[in-house]
Amino acid sequence: MLTSKTPVGILGATGIVGQRFIQLLEMHPWFEVAWLAASERSAGLPCSKAATWRLKTPIPERVAQMTVSPADPATAPKIIFAALDSKVAQELEPKFAEAGCAVISNSSAFRMQADVPLVIPEVNPTHLTLIDKQAWRKKSGGFLVTNSNCSAMGLVLALAPLQQKFGIEKVFVVTMQAVSGAGYPGVASLDILGNVIPFISNEEEKLEIEPRKMLGSVNGTGAVLADLIVSAQCNRVAVEDGHTESVSVKLKKPASKEEIIEAWTSFRGLAQEKRLPSAPDQPIFYDPTPDRPQPRLDVERGAGMSTSIGRLRPCPLLDWKFTLLSHNTVRGAAGAALLNAELLYAQGYLGKHE
């Protein structure tokens, strides 16, 4: 490595989220991809061969020529981004944490474990203190930090300012999710062209529980879920990137339309305060146009890291209805993990740097 950047590795580098990690890390001011691992049949191949590159920007030349390593912590750098299937993550992530790695994971495997932070830097950065409860941390210095499911991410960003100012009791959410969320090859074209699929395996379960951890607190024992109820229904639609969500919320105390919009547009967190490189200037963008947000037009706001919201209006059942949009493979996956890594770096969890 000729640069002074911190080397990082990617577990699961060849999938759609792995490709986003590669794309987002190219040109990163602090980190540099130094190691890639994927499934056994990819090991030994150059990354350009192992991955079916599906992003609109070409694979960076340097990474294209890197050889895919076996998923073995012995050869890996100490900072690992993980984009693994849940089953594989269940087995591999502890191995890397055990071996002293900072594992920054997009997988669902350990998200709800009490001593594992499920973090959004703008929302619950203090949950990082859970790291010190992890057995790995004590033993080898390694640890595990996770970000949420792609459909929970935009929702929690939209809810956090309301939770902070007014409290939240109940949330209805119906998602219309992009096909990139299913990876590659993922959804068959015969299944989705001109169609809606009203089912995504385990998605509603995650969307009903993960927000409660992120909007909850941390006590001596671990994470404490927030006292609110989420009812979720998840659908797949013929959109490439960007999950759209129709939401209705019941607040704990009354708020006017103006107060809610003000809560959203003024919302900033530690990510902005510390000027983390991947933090959007404005985490939440409210668009007063009647027919927005739309994935085709709005998904790239804040380089894919902002949540777009529109159509705030009264709900005859709860208090307020609105529509949100969040980029599922950037803010909802690779970008989320990267922002978590930047927060960890800024907080000193990733070793010395000056």
Q: Which residues contact its own copies by CB under 8 A?
A: 16, 54-56, 170, 172, 174, 176, 179-180, 184-199, 208, 229-231, 233, 235, 237-240, 244, 246, 248, 290-297, 300, 310-311, 315-318, 321, 323
Q: Which is nearer to its own copies, 265 or 347 (CB)?
A: 265
Query: Do the beta carbons of residue 244 and residue 295 sit within 8 Å?
Result: yes
Min dist CB 23 to its own copies, Å, is 13
Min dist CB 288 to its own copies, Å, is 12
Q: Which is nearer to its own copies, 95 or 292 (CB)?
A: 292
Compute φ and ψ for 189, nearest 5 degrees.
Answer: -60, -35
Q: Which is nearer to its own copies, 16 or 99 (CB)?
A: 16
234 is catalytic: no
Rounded Cα–Cα distance for residues 332 and 319 (Å): 26
Residue tagged active-site, from 47, 150, 234, 327: 150
Q: Which is nearer to its own copies, 34 or 197 (CB)?
A: 197
Residue tagged active-site, from 47, 127, 243, 327: 243
Q: Which is nearer to its own copies, 85 or 98 (CB)?
A: 85
DSSP letter, residue 69: B
Min dist CB 248 to its own copies, Å, is 6
Residue 331's alpha-carbon distances to 75, 147, 150, 180, 290, in angstroms, are 29, 10, 8, 13, 24
Min dist CB 240 to its own copies, Å, is 5
- Contact residues for 222 (Cβ-Cβ < 8 A; gap 6+): 114, 115, 130, 133
Q: Which of 41, 102, 82 is nearest to 336 (CA)?
A: 82
Min dist CB 255 to its own copies, Å, is 18
Burial of 83 (0-12, 13-18, 19+ CB in 10 A): buried
User: What tokens were used for 139?
Assistant: 């033993």
State the DSSP string of 284-325: EEEE-STT---HHHHTTGGGGTSEEEEEEEE-SSSSEEEEEE
Rounded Cα–Cα distance for residues 239 and 237 (Å): 6
Catalytic residues: 150, 243
